[in-house]
A and B are shown apart, each in its own frame.
Chain A
C-alpha cells in the first residue's frame, strides 16, 4: 500500500477519536474555570479555581470520596478472592461443567439497571423480599438493607455482577496453564497450597493485575446501581464521586462546579489508566 492511502485509511479513526477526546475535555476544563449556573445566567466570568474550591469544600465531597474508595476497594477484594477460588474449583473435568460455567458468568451480562432492581425489590425489600422472608423464618427482624447498610448493599450488587467477570478471565487463563508441570508437582508431593503459591498464582499474576485495573476504571464511575436503588442516600451515605457530580449538574444546575468535579474524576481515572495502559502495552506485540 502506498503511504498516502495508509494515511487516508487511518485518518478517520484517529481524527474522530481526537475530536471525541479534545473537544469535550477542553470544554470541561473551560467550564470549570468560569461562573456557570443555569439558574443564574447573569453571573458570568472567569473565576480561576473557585469552582474546584467549592467542589472540594462541599460537605458531601469528603464522604463521597471515601465512599468511592471503599466501594472500589471492597468490590476488588471480593471479586478477586471469590473469582480466584471459584475459577480454581471449576478448573477440573466434571459432568455439567459447561452448565455450571454458564450459570457462573451470566450475572455479568445482566444490564446494571435490571440487576439493581432485582436486588432492591425481590431480594432486599424489607417487607416482601426474599432476604426478609429468610430472616422471618428464623424468627429475626428483617434487615432494611438499603436504609441501614446502603453502601454495603451496593457493594454486594456490584460484586455479584463483577465476580463473574473475574471468573471468566481467570478461567480462560487457567486453561492455558501447563498441566504437565502441575502433574509433575503433584507427583513430587506438592500439596494444594504449595502448588497454588508456586504455580497457579504466578501464572495468574498478569490476568489478576489486568482484572484489578479494568475493574477500577469501571467501578470509579459506578452510576446506574446507585441511581436506581438508593439515589445516593440516606443522606450521602452511598453517594460516590460520579453520583455527586451528577447531582451537582442535575439538581443544583451548577455547570461550573460539576465540571470541576468532572476534571477531578478524570484525574483520578487517569492515575489508574496510566498503570493499565502500561500493563496492556507490555502484552501488545507489534
Chain B
C-alpha cells in the first residue's frame, strides 16, 4: 500500500469516527424530539418504539393544560431584559475604555471579569434577603437585574474588543468636524459595531435563557422561567415523558438555533476573548 492510499484510508476512518461521535452526541436530543411526537403510552413502551405515527397532540396539550406560555414569556422577558440592561450599561463604558485606554484599563477589565468568578451559592443568602426586603422576590425585575449583572463583565469585554477594532482615524475626522460625543456614538460607532453588539447580545441571551440556579432559588410561581418550569417536572408525579419532551423541545429549540448562529462570538465570549 502506498503512502497516498494509506492517507486515504486514514481519512476515511477519521470521517467515519467523526460521524459516529456526532450521532452519539446528538442522539439524546434526537430522542427527546422523537419522544415529544409519541403518545404517553408509546413514550414509555418497552422496547422503545422507533417507528410510529407521529402526533402533535403533546404540543397542543401543554399549551392548554399548563402555563407553558407564561413561563416562556418569563424566559423571553428576563433573557432579553437582562441583556438589554447589560448592553445599556456596557456600551458607553466599553466605548470610552476602548478609545481612552490608559494603563489602568486592563486592570479594570480584569477586575470586572473576576466578579464573574464569584460562585452564586456564595452570595445566595444575601441576595435572597435583599430580594425579600425590597419586595422583589419572585419577580421578573429581580431576574432581569441579576442576569444583567451576571453577564455585564463578559459583555464589557467583548464589546471592548469590538470597539477597539474601529479605526481611530474615522473618529478623529468626525471630531474635527465638531461632532458631539453623543452623535459620534450614534452615527459612527454604533453602525460600525452593530454586528459585534448583535452577537454579544445573542451570547448574553443564551446564557440568561439557560441559567438555572437563580431562577430555581429566587422564583416560586410568578416569575419562574422555563429552566425552573422544566425542573418542576423532576417529581415522580410529573412523569409524563411525552409532554415533558414537548416542553423541553420548545424550550431548547430557539436557543440551539441561536447557538448555531453565534458560534464564533460564543468562542470569544466564553473564553473571555482569549481564543478567537
**A interface list, Cβ under 8 A from B:** 1, 5-6, 9-10, 12-14, 16-17, 20-21, 23-25, 27-28, 31, 86, 89-90, 92, 94, 96, 99-123, 127-128, 130, 132-133, 136-137, 160, 163-165, 168-169, 172-173, 176, 192, 206-207, 210-211, 214, 217, 220-221, 223-224, 227-229, 241-242, 245-246, 249, 255, 258-259, 261-263, 265-266, 268-270, 272-273, 276-277, 279-281, 283-284, 286
Contacts and interface: CB of A to CB of B under 8 A. Distances in A.
Contacts, number: 300
B153 interface: yes
Contacts of A1: 96, 99-100, 181
B267 A169 contact: yes
Given A89-B14, A111-B230, A123-B31, A258 B124 contact: yes
Given A111-B210, A249-B125, A277 B114 contact: yes
A221 B218 CA distance: 17
B101 A286 contact: yes
A277 B110 contact: yes
Given A117-B233, A119-B28, A207 B275 contact: yes
A117 B251 CA distance: 13
Given A111-B255, A224-B212, A277-B113, A246 B121 contact: yes
B117 A272 contact: yes
A263 B234 CA distance: 30
A5 B118 CA distance: 30
A219 B259 CA distance: 21
Contacts of A121: 239, 241, 244
Contacts of A272: 117
25 contacts: A24-B123, A86-B18, A89-B14, A108-B259, A109-B210, A109-B255, A112-B227, A115-B28, A122-B28, A128-B46, A133-B48, A169-B271, A172-B267, A210-B275, A221-B213, A223-B213, A224-B212, A224-B227, A255-B125, A258-B125, A273-B114, A280-B271, A280-B272, A284-B274, A286-B109
Interface in B7-42: 10-11, 14-15, 17-19, 21-23, 25-26, 28-29, 31-32, 35
Contacts of B245: 118, 122
Q: Which of B28, B122, B266 has the most CB of A within 10 A?
A: B122
B230 A137 contact: no
Contacts of B212: 111-113, 223-224, 227
Interface in B210-255: 210, 212-213, 216-217, 226-228, 230-231, 233-234, 239, 241, 244-245, 248, 251-252, 255
B168 interface: no
Contacts of A90: 18
B14 A92 contact: yes
Given A10-B93, A122-B245, A130-B31, A106 B256 contact: yes
A141 B115 CA distance: 49
A104 B100 contact: no
B114 A111 contact: no
A144 B101 CA distance: 58
Given A13-B152, A111-B212, A241-B121, 13 more contacts: A10-B92, A17-B115, A25-B118, A103-B22, A103-B23, A111-B226, A114-B252, A128-B241, A176-B276, A265-B119, A277-B110, A280-B271, A280-B273
B263 interface: yes
Classify chain B: how many residues form its interface, as a range: 35 or more
Most buried by A among B108, B117, B258: B117
B273 A283 contact: yes
Interface of B: 10-11, 14-15, 17-19, 21-23, 25-26, 28-29, 31-32, 35, 44-48, 89-90, 92-97, 99-101, 105-106, 108-110, 112-115, 117-130, 149, 152-153, 156-157, 181, 206, 209-210, 212-213, 216-217, 226-228, 230-231, 233-234, 239, 241, 244-245, 248, 251-252, 255-256, 258-260, 263-264, 266-267, 270-276
Nearest to A262: B122
A262 B121 contact: yes
Nearest to B228: A113
B205 to A, nearest CB: 11
A89 B130 CA distance: 50
A241 B121 CA distance: 9
Most chain A CB inside 10 Å of its own CB: which residue of B15, B216, B239 = B15
Nearest to B85: A16
B86 to A, nearest CB: 9
Contacts of B10: 192
Contacts of B117: 217, 269-270, 272-273, 276-277
Nearest to B257: A109
Given A17-B152, A210-B274, A106 B46 contact: no
Contacts of A245: 121, 124
B274 A206 contact: yes
A98 B273 CA distance: 24
A94 B15 contact: yes
Contacts of B255: 109, 111
Contact of A114 (B230, B275, B276): B230
Given A89-B18, A206-B274, A280-B274, A227 B216 contact: yes
